[in-house]
Structure 1
């Protein structure tokens, strides 16, 4: 998990994250998001809205950590929805997340 959160920190420093529901949704709609990360404790309503949008635009979704843990990794208090804009970091994250669930 720490390696995943470190990759998110790198992506943030590189300016390759859309932080929050609104920014992530816009990135998905514009075709900029390569994947979306959702905190495990995000509200059901928010989860449903972002899931529907990601399905429509064929963007992968992963659930990792809780809002506070995601926020700490990004230097914030909490973070529920993150859109990743870097294909390279996106592939690295997908590989780790997929391996973690197998």
Structure 2
């Protein structure tokens, strides 16, 4: 694991401990629809079907989807829940995770 990936996972873990992390597609979708988040992050190994649904949600709700250089297993190890989609409700933490997200960029 490279340094940037370790920092990314550390920021995700910090967000979880701070109670600012929303995990899983359905919960994230509800949070996006409510206007509480503007960015959704997704793991590098989510299924094509999930990615298609995420793109549709983000386009409809004017949110951005950002790929992170981490697998669902890596995110699950940090958050204690294996997920491929997550969102951060704190603007500062969200910005830092966006900066550290190198893989894929925005869709």
Q: Please tell me whether the aligned partners of residues 40 and 65 of structure 2 are also in contact (alpha carbons under 8 angstroms).
A: yes
1:3-49 residue CA offsets vs partner (Å, 9 max, x unmatched): 11111111111111111010010011011123111112111111111
- Give the match for residue 19 of structure 2: 15
With structure 1 as the length reference, what TM-score do the two structures score?
0.86
Following TM superposition, by how much is the alpha carbon of 1:56 offset from its aligned partner in structure 2, in angstroms?
A: 2.0
Cα deviations across residues 74-101 of structure 1 (Å, max 9, x unaligned)? 123x211102111110111122226x96
**Aligned pair partner of 1:70 in 67, 75, 86:** 75
TM-score normalised by structure 2 residue count? 0.82
2: CA distance between counterparts of 1:56 and 1:19? 20
Unaligned runs of 5+ in 2: none
Alignment equivalent of 1:79, drawn from 72, 77, 83: 83
Partner of 1:51: 55
Regions of 4+ moved over 6 Å? none
Count of aligned positions: 99
Alignment match of 2:40 (pick from 16, 36, 58): 36
Once the two structures are TM-superposed, the CA of residue 50 in structure 1 deviates from its matched residue by 1.2
Contiguous gaps of at least 5 residues in structure 1:
none
